[in-house]
Amino acid sequence: MSHLEELAARLDRALAGADAALAASYPGDRGVRQPVHTVYVPGDRYDEKTVSEWSAESGRVLAEHAGSAAEVADSFELEPGLAEEIYDRVTAKLAAEPIEDLRIDFEDGYGARPDEDEDAAVVAAARALAATVRDGSATPFHGIRIKSFEAPTRHRGLRTLDLFLGELVREGGLGDGFVITLPKVTSVEQVTAMVTALSALEAAHGIEAGSLRFEIQVETPQAILGSDGTALIARMIAAGAGRVTGLHYGTYDYSASLGVAAAFQSMEHPVADHAKDVMQVAAAGTGVFVSDGSTNVLPVGDPEAVRAAWRL
C-alpha cells in the first residue's frame, strides 16, 4: 500500500462517524411530491362531501369570474396561448383534485369546546375521512391538526389524536397520505413528546411502528431562536426521529408574537422572510418540506376581490 492509500484509509476510519451522521441527518429529497397547498377545515364542518363541494364551488367561481381562456388573458394580462393552457389545466385540476392536502382542524379553526362535543366531532370526522379513503375520493394528502402540547391544551390534544386514530383504524381509513399537524411548538421537548406519543398510540391501535408522521407548525419565536441563541427548529427536526415531514410557517400567530399589527401581518413581511429563511436552512437536505405560510384570503366576494385573491 502506498503512503497515499494508507493516508486515505486512515482518513476514512477517522471520518466514518461523521460520514454516517451526515447520511442519517441529511438523507436528501424523499422522492414524493409536496402538496401545493394545505386546506384547513374546522373539525365539525368536515364530512364526506367536503371535497366535492369545494370542487363544485371553485368551478362555479371560476365560471362566474373567468369563464373562458379569453377572460383569464384579460384579467391577468397574459398571452392568449398561455392563458388557454392555464385555463385548461385549472379547470381539470378543480374537477379532479380541488384540494391536494386537507387538514381536519381541531385547533384554532375549531376552538375550545366541551370535551363531549369535541369527542363527538372527532369520531364523526374520522368516520367521514375513512369513508372517502375507502371509496377513493380522499385528497392525496390528508390528516388532522390537534391542539398544541402546551400545558393548557396538551391533554385535549392527545385525547383528540387518540380518538381520531382509533376510529380511523377501525374504519379502515389509515393510509400513506395521512399526516398530523402539531401547532405552536415552543420547545424541542415538545417534539420529543410527540414522538413518544405516536409510538405509544401505534402500539395501542395496532399501527405499524414508526409509520405515523407529523409536521411542525412554526408559529412562535421560540421555534426560530431559543433563549440560548440557537436555532431550535434545526434541533426539532432531529428530535423528530425521522417522523417530521414538514415545517409550516404560521403567518398570523408568529407575526403577532413579534408585535406586528394585524394590518401588516402577511407572508411578505420581513419577519416572515427571516423565519422562513431559518426554516429553509434548517430543513435543507433533510427531506423535510417547508411551507411558505398561511393566508385567510379566499377568492370570494365581488369580482375585484376574487381577482385580487387569485393574484395572491
Q: What are 199-209's pLDDT values in tens digits?
A: 999 999 999 99
pLDDT at 180: 98
Q: Tens digit of pLDDT for each residue in 124-135?
A: 999 999 999 999
Residue pLDDT, tens place only, 4-57: 999 999 999 999 999 999 999 999 999 999 999 999 999 999 999 999 999 999
Q: What is the per-residue pLDDT for 43?
A: 97
- Looking at the DSSP bridge assignments, the partners of residue 247 are 216, 290
What's the pLDDT tens digit per position in 150-182?
999 999 999 999 999 999 999 999 998 999 999
Residue 192 has pLDDT above 90, yes or no: yes
What pLDDT is attached to residue 294?
Answer: 86
pLDDT of 71 reads 87
Nearest to 197 by CA among 151, 249, 142, 240: 240
* pLDDT(221) > 90: yes
Judge whether residue 292 has pLDDT over 90.
Answer: no
For the stretch 47-95, pLDDT in tens is 999 999 999 999 999 999 888 999 888 888 889 999 999 999 999 999 9
Q: Over 90: is that where the pLDDT of 237 sits?
A: yes
Q: Following DSSP, what letter does each residue of 164-232 receive, concatenated?
A: HHHHHHHTT---TTEEEEE-S---HHHHHHHHHHHHHHHHHHTPPTT---EEEEE-SHHHHS-TTSS-H
Q: Residue 98: what residue type?
A: P
**Model confidence band, residue 297 (pLDDT cutoffs 50, 70, 90):** confident
* pLDDT given for residue 111 in this prediction: 95
Position 262 scores a pLDDT of 92
In order of start, what are the domains of the chain with their CATH numbers?
A: 35-47+100-311 (3.20.20.60)
pLDDT given for residue 127 in this prediction:
98
Rounded Cα distance, 182 and 218, in Å: 9
Look at residue 232 and tell me whether its pLDDT is greater than 90.
Answer: yes
The mean of the pLDDT values for the chain is 94
> Whole-angstrom Cα distance, residue 270 to residue 226?
19
C-alpha cell at 90: 385549472
pLDDT at 170: 97
Calpha distance 249→279 (Å, rounded): 8
Q: Report pLDDT for 73.
A: 87
Q: What's the whole-number mean pLDDT along residues 171-195? A: 96
Q: What's the pLDDT score for residue 205?
A: 98
CA gap 165, 179 in Å, rounded:
11
As a whole number, mean pLDDT of residues 143-154 equals: 97
